[in-house]
Amino acid sequence: GRSGALMSHHIAMMALSRMLSGVFMWYARHDIPCKPWVGEIQHASYAILGAHLVHLVLLADFGYYYVKGIAKAGLGCVVDVEIV
């Protein structure tokens, strides 16, 4: 697929937002209350951090092509993502 410069920058900033949100949730994980379903496991913080991790893994593919495109053609580049 192909992504224009403005859309690429928007997706990259959303990835940065997810990273910063994940860092915040990591430090706030002890402040999230929940009723344990199994034993004493606090599942809410694990679910939130897991969702952030999955989102970052999915964005990592785009991030690779984004950084590669910027290194090659500068900030006005069109990001080409190879579809396998």
Q: What CA dihedral angle connects 29, 59, 11 and 49, to 10 degrees?
A: -10
pLDDT one-digit tens code per residue, 20-34: 998 999 999 888 888
Q: How far apart, in whole angstroms, are the C-alpha atoms of residue 60 and residue 69?
A: 14
pLDDT one-digit tens code per residue, 48-57: 999 999 988 8
Q: Residue 84: pLDDT band by 50, 70, 90 thresholds?
A: low
What is this structure's pTM?
A: 0.71
